[in-house]
Amino acid sequence: MGSFPRRSIELDSSNLKAYFFAGQAHLGLCQWDEALNKLMHAHNLAQEQHRNFGDDITVVIRQAKRKRFEALDEKRKQEEVALQAYLNKLILRDAEYQKNTILTAHGHSVSSTTKPISTDKVPIPVDPSGSPDTAPEDYVQSASPLQLIEKAESSSFAKYDPSCLDGTHAVGTGAIVVHSSDMSPRVQARLAQVDQAAQRRMTELNELFAQVDSRRQKREVPEYLCGRISFELMLDPVITPSGITYDRRSILAHLRKVGHFDPISHQPLTENQLIPNRIMKEVVHAFLEENPWAENY
């Protein structure tokens, strides 16, 4: 913020223009909270001093709110992209672990250079019959997401390449190769099931994130649905004799704390002159039905 607005505020705390210019300065510096603080203070001073600036202040306030919302939304978007990539990687790692467990349980060696996942934190249940074939499935069912993350972060995974087209399966980071001809049909089927399950989980996960991104792209509250005083969505709109619509809570607070006049037209106004704007309320309700996130906009 420039030194002029700051010095003016220090000299006169009721200097409306100083707060307004300070808010604009913070807005230019992308300091959204400070900008809104100063601009709202300027708006309140304008009401207290009965000074009519039209929409000059309110337009900048809406701009600051929109910029702050966009900045926070972009931050959330980046976090979701990172989370999506991490979860996809975790699914693949878990699939590798399951397949290596199956191969090891059936006597196929894993490269000595690969450190298998320890099972001290997440025990792998074994079927009462003693068959190790059920271990990977039971492991997935019994392990919590947090435990899977611990495994992914604390352990390295043996490599299994399902894309080999020459009838081989590479296991481990060394040169050990397991030929499909050495595997029983049951083992091959189990490996294929693990791959299919992992692919299904990744598809569902990516579709979920795509839906979230699609809804986010539609996030925009029309200005005509926002009140002239609170600059928030009008949940209970009322209209004055001047033809201006306000949110009931905001206009009542103005009448009781500031004075009995319309804050925009400055015409005399009392509570009993407020008429519910039912058409606007229906419009707001329809908008919220399609955009529930707007409740906290």
Judged against a pLDDT cut of 70, whether residue 158 lies above it is answered with no
Average pLDDT over residues 188-215: 91
Which pLDDT belongs to residue 84? 94
Q: How confident is the model at residue 173 (pLDDT cuts 50, 70, 90)?
A: very low
Q: How confident is the model at residue 109 (pLDDT cuts 50, 70, 90)?
A: low
With pLDDT > 90 as the criterion, what percentage of the chain qualifies?
35
With pLDDT > 70 as the criterion, what percentage of the chain qualifies?
69
CB neighbours of 53 closer than 8 A, spacing ≥ 6?
46
CA-wise closest residue to 222 among 292, 293, 284: 284
CB neighbours of 57 closer than 8 A, spacing ≥ 6?
20, 39, 42, 43, 46
Which pLDDT belongs to residue 85? 94
Burial class (CB in 10 A: 0-12, 13-18, 19+), 167: exposed
Judged against a pLDDT cut of 60, whether residue 76 lies above it is answered with yes
CA-wise closest residue to 124 among 149, 150, 97: 97
Which pLDDT belongs to residue 114? 37
pLDDT single digits (tens) 219-254: 778 889 999 888 888 989 999 999 999 999 999 999
Which pLDDT belongs to residue 240? 96
CA-wise closest residue to 196 among 77, 52, 91: 91
Q: How confident is the model at residue 94 (pLDDT cuts 50, 70, 90)?
A: very high
* CATH 3.40.50.720 at 220-297, yes or no: no
**Single-letter code of the amino acid located at 294:** A
Q: Answer with the residue of higher pLDDT: 83 or 46.
A: 83
Q: Which residues pair with 276 in a beta bridge?
A: 238
Least confident of 75-79, 114-118, 291-295: 114-118
- Contacts of residues 197-203 at CB distance under 8 Å and 24 or more positions apart, as own/partner, are 197/95, 197/140, 198/91, 198/92, 198/94, 198/95, 201/91, 202/88, 202/91, 202/92
Least confident of 52-61, 82-91, 103-112, 189-198: 103-112
pLDDT single digits (tens) 254-292: 999 899 999 999 999 999 999 999 999 999 989 887 776
Which pLDDT belongs to residue 142? 46
CATH 3.30.40.10 boundaries in the chain: 220-297
Judged against a pLDDT cut of 50, whether residue 146 lies above it is answered with no
Which pLDDT belongs to residue 49? 83
CB-CB contact of 273 with 240 (8 Å): yes
Q: Which residues pair with 121 in a beta bridge?
A: none
Average pLDDT over the chain reads: 76
Which pLDDT belongs to residue 118? 36
CA 101 to chain centre: 36
Phi-psi region of 171 (alpha: psi -120 to 50; beta: other; left: phi over 0): beta
Judged against a pLDDT cut of 90, whether residue 185 lies above it is answered with no
CATH 1.25.40.10 boundaries in the chain: 1-53
Which pLDDT belongs to residue 133? 43
Which pLDDT belongs to residue 55? 67
pTM passes above 0.95: no
User: 1-53 belongs to which CATH class?
Assistant: mainly alpha
Which pLDDT belongs to residue 236? 92
pLDDT single digits (tens) 2-22: 565 666 776 667 788 888 899
